[in-house]
Amino acid sequence: MTGTPGATTPTDIELDSSGRRMRFVWADGRRSDYDWEYLRWRCPCATCSGEGEFAGELQTRKELRPDETEMVDLELVGRYAVKPTWRNGHDTGIFTFRNLRALAEQDDLLRDASSA
């Protein structure tokens, strides 16, 4: 991950329901958009991604139901993370800012914040 100051510090977080995405603007002037289904497949909770020797529920699935990919709320967790709530009630995945920035870098989701 980049060592740029502010790289993992968001200055703006937006839940864009019409675009079905979550948008972060980072303090280093970059922006990343996360499609809801993209995020749902990457849910970091133990139920979805597994824990120890136990596989997560999403590891054996090929598709998600529509109610599993519709975000209905987004809550800040301290100063380090966000926790989405999905239409089906799932709300145990906590996405740290560091993790979200790493996903953006890994999957080429970063853009200049000034670009549309």
What band does 116 get if pLDDT is binned at 50, 70 and 90? low
Q: Which domains does the chain have, with CATH numbers?
A: 10-110 (3.30.2020.30)
Global confidence as pTM: 0.89
Find where tokens 């598709």 sit. Answer: 63
**Beta-bridge partner residues of 76:** 82
Region 19-48: mean pLDDT is 96
Question: Three-class SS of residue 106?
Answer: helix
Q: Which residue has the higher pLDDT, 27 or 115?
A: 27
Q: Rounded to an integer, what distance in angstroms lies between the CA atom of residue 65 and that of residue 79?
A: 31
3-class secondary structure for 56-81? CHHHHCCCCCHHHCCEEEEEEECCCE
